[in-house]
Amino acid sequence: MDINILTVFILAIFVGFEIITKVPPTLHTPLMSGSNAISGIAIVGAIISTKINSDISTWLGLIAVIFATINCVGGFLVTDRMLKMFKRK
């Protein structure tokens, strides 16, 4: 097993904890929908899996592309829609 990717994973978790604890409760819903959009990064894997040349995998890849795109597009758009509403006096 490649120890490098494990290192990346663990360090990323620490970075995540550091920056996310600084998000104020007021913004927790946009944080959630925004991080939801970020988990749409699965789209990268979905794109790659369309090249695996066997029939069934290609179709699974297509469904994965659809799911992940919904996540990215919907997630970032709805987060923007919410954040637009937060106004100062």
Sites for other proteins among residues 26-85 (CB under 8 A): 26-54, 56-58, 60-85
The structure tokens listed for 86 are 């937060």
24 binds other proteins (CB under 8 A): yes
Residues 4 to 23 in contact with other proteins, rule: CB under 8 A: 5, 8-9, 12-13, 15-17, 19-23
Question: Rounded to an integer, what distance in angstroms lies between the CA atom of residue 20 and that of residue 55?
Answer: 41
3 binds other proteins (CB under 8 A): no
Q: How many CB atoms lie within 10 A of CB 62?
A: 13
Alpha-carbon distance values, 34 to 62, 76, 83 (Å): 24, 6, 10
89 binds other proteins (CB under 8 A): yes
| Site residue total, other proteins (CB under 8 A) | 79
